[in-house]
Structures are given as C-alpha cells and as structure tokens.
A and B are shown apart, each in its own frame.
Chain A
Amino acid sequence: MTFSLMKALPGDPVYTMAGERADPETIEKIRKDIGGDKSVLAQYMGYVAMLAKGDLGRSYYTNRRVLDDILVKAPNTIRLASMAMLIALPCGVMLGLIMALSRKTRTDRILSAVSVFGLSIPVFWSGLVLMFVLSLKLKVLPPSGTGGLKYLVLPALTLALPAMASMSRITRVSVVEILDMPFIRTARAKGIAELRITTAHILRNALIPVVTVAGLDFGSYLSGAVLTETIFGWDGIGRFAMEGIVKRDYPVILGCILITTVSFIMMNFFVDLLYRHIDPRLRTGGNVD
C-alpha cells in the first residue's frame, strides 16, 4: 500500500506545481521570449516535456543550466544534513534516555522543558545567536561561508538543535513505553546488570521509532536547510532556492522545490524499507511475493 502510494506521489504533485507556477511567470516575463507568450497550459506541457528529458531549464539570470548548479550544490547540503544528524541523533537519544530513566523527577521535568524550548526556537534566530556569540564575540569559528569542518560546525549545530529536541522527546516516549513491558521486569529478575538492560534491552527496542523519525528528519533537513544555509552563506540547495526566490528566478525555484521534494519522498520511502529491516515483526505481513 505505502509503496504504491510513494511510487505514485513524486510525479503528480510536482507537475501540478509546475503548472501553477507557470502562471505568474506569464505575467512577469510576458515580453521575454522564454515562452511567456504561450498559454499556461503550453508552458506547463513544455516544462513537463523538458523534465522528461532530464532537463530543469536555465536560470533567467545566469543562463546556466539549473540541473548543473544543483548537482554542484547538492553535496554541500548533504554534508550539512549528515553533520547535523551526527550531532542530533546521539545527543537526542542520550537526552531522551536520561529523561525516561529519571521520569517524574526534577531532572526529567527540567530536560523536558528544555526540549520544548528547543522546539520553539526559530532556527534562523538561534543560528544568528550562535553566530554572534561564537564567531563575532569569541571569534572561535568563521561566521559564514562554505568550506571545511570549521565552517560546517555552526550551521550543523543550528540545524541539529530542534532535531535534538524532537528526537529526545520521541526517545523519551518510546523508552517509557518499553520500561513498563514485562520483558524488562524479566531481565531485571534474571539479574542482568542495569547497564546491559539499558543498552541491550531498552535502547534497542526504543530505537525503532527513533530511527524512523531520524530518517524523516534527515529528509526534512534537505529542505529545511533553506533558512540555515541562507544565514550562514552555506553554498547548498537551500541558499540556491532562496536566491532564486529573491530574484524571482522561476526555473531555479522550481528546480530546487522539485529536487528537494523528490529527495524528501525518496527518503520517506527509504525509511519505510529500513523500518521493515530493523523490526523483524513487520516483515511477515508484507513478504507475500
């Protein structure tokens, strides 16, 4: 079911958006000969035909092929997203585990409040605050630009903060659920060391939903990086899209939305597969063929 749905999704909405997007294009670029004189439908058909050939068109401003630019910038975005995930996943799981194990105590309440706070801070603001403190005042890290690890830390940290918060919340819920299960009591009764119970019994089971969410989050980083990349001048797809928006460069905007949406959906699909792989209980139902 989910598979066929995922399969069916990418094409349709994207093309529809392309069609819709063609409308303001007619108004704004009507005098230019980028096909603005044709009807919306003709433009839409043209775009679809171009897509079918694997072409995303050319930027109105630089006249470079959008696809080429995206292919240059995509690795940067992926690097940023991976780094953010590398920070967020272990920290988030740790925090969630601490919260769950100390549930209903003061530690839990304080950490829970912190995690809600982490969810409530806008990334573009926390990014600026981090930039202000770490690079403008303490001068530890460069404020913006694309480059090595030094440049990567700030945007990755910014991107990781809300993710860490949401992951810790999910871990907490999932661990608390498992703590009440009979097999944990059995393990305790068998006299297994508390540390081993925590890592082998609790964490392993709790990680299943966490990994799912982490995967989905990774997909949303690829798109959510619009704000972070813009602030830190990170030369990825998000900033590319943003520049396109500012300049009303429709082929660029369209191309970026298309690429991020497709990768987002692919990520969802991948998580779906991964989910079955991690949890053997899910495999029996699906493997009829």
Chain B
Amino acid sequence: MLAKKAVGFTPALADSRWVKGLLIATALAFLLLFLVLPLVAVFVEALRRGTDAYWAALMEPDAVAAIKLTLIVAAIAVPMNLLFGVAASWCIAKFDFRGKDVLITLIDLPFSVSPVISGLIYVLLFGLHGLMGPFLKSQGIQIIFAVPGLVLATVFVTFPFVARELIPLMQEQGNEEEEAALVLGASGWQTFWRVTLPNIKWGLLYGVLLCNARAMGEFGAVSVVSGHIRGETNTMPLHVEILYNEYNLVAAFAVASVLAMLALVTLVVKSVLEWRFGAELAATRH
C-alpha cells in the first residue's frame, strides 16, 4: 500500500511547479524579512555617520574593554565546554550506567531554563548576600560582578552545544572501532586520539563554532551577574544595550556590527569546511 502511495505521489510532486515555486518564494521572503534585512540594518545604522564615526565608536576605551572582555570570557568558556562536552558525550555514548537519562536531561537544562534565571542562581550562590557570599568575601574572592561570574554564567548557558552535537554522532558510530583499536594493542589515549577524535572531529568543530557564537553573544545570564561596570564587567552585548539606552545609536550599532560579523564568519567557516571536506565528511558518516 505504501509503495502504491509513493508511485501516486511522485509525479504529482514533480508536476506542481507552482507549489514548489510558491514554497521557495515564501521561504526566501521569510529569510529576507527576518534575517537579511535586520543584518543589513545593523550595518547601515552603524555606518550612518560615515566610517570615521564607526571606527571612533569601536576604538573608544569602553568599547575596546568590552571586546577584550568578551574574547577573554569566550577563550575560557569555550575550551572548558569543549572538554566537558567531549567527556560527557563519551561517557553517555560509549557506556551504560544507571542514571544516564538523568544526565542527558541535565545537559539539556541550560536550554530549557531562562538564562536570566541561571544568572540569578549564581547571584544567590556567590553574591554578597548569597549562600557562599560571606565565606568568599572573607577569602577576598569576588565572583559576582567580576570576570569569574561572567565565565560561570557563560559556561552554564553554552554547556549543551558541544555535547548535543556529539552524543547522537557517537551513539550512531557505536563502540566497535574503539574495541577493534584496543584489541589491536592501542592504549586508551591512542584509541581516543587516533580513532574516536578523527571520527567526531567535524561534529566537534561544528559544536565548538556554535558554542563560541553563543558565548560571545550571550546577554541574559551575563547581564544578571555583570553589574554593568563600564570598561570593567561589560561584555559586548551589554555594552550595546547601554549605548542604545543612551541613544548613542551609531556606537551601539557599530559594536553590534562586530557581533554580527562574528556570526557571519562562523557561518562562512562552517560552509567552507563543509565544501572543502564534504566528501570526507560523507565518508565518515556513511
């Protein structure tokens, strides 16, 4: 019965060029309206007063500090999540243990919890009046309204990206190649570096790119723990908001354009990799 249906459907689909055209047009219009136009608007607004004003807005000390801080936070958070993500997906995909489902749900938690709440939790834990506040103060350690808080919030929010990308990939690939490597005399490390990692490298790279994009762009959680001290604890997204609230539109959009560029670069890198190594990618997923 299924086969009959398929036979009936294929020519019907092939014939309806109108439907096809309409669907493509709808999709394109949607993309244009909601993705391309805002992106163009960012750059148009940023360059409204010319390139000099654009550069001046980016070179201003607070903006430079914000860009630096964003890079520092991402440079700490992304490698941490790379490590955690690989470790978590390794143990979920390659081993059977009690509470595996709970672990998978926990990994998804940052996706399901509002970032603002995750920021607040850190304030409640590490803030001056929080659970561990007095102890931290007595030790002279500041987490909230400082770089460690920003890193913690960012790590939490971006945790699922690498793991989510790797778990299905590793589950699909199974254990057999690792077992083969072990029987052939490879040590655990050799097996990881020579067999596991090459098999997941594209998924891993994609996960890291997404994780990085989010780490640099995160607003909600970071906003709660930052304290908005100009030139000190403002990341780029926070800086954009402050400038915008001060009606300094050119500067706001100038900084925003750097963030937008980052998104574009991520996208281009991903496409180039897929185009350049497409065949190999297909071979490893066969």
Do A and B come together as binding partners? no
B-contacting residues of A (Cβ < 8 Å)? Answer: none
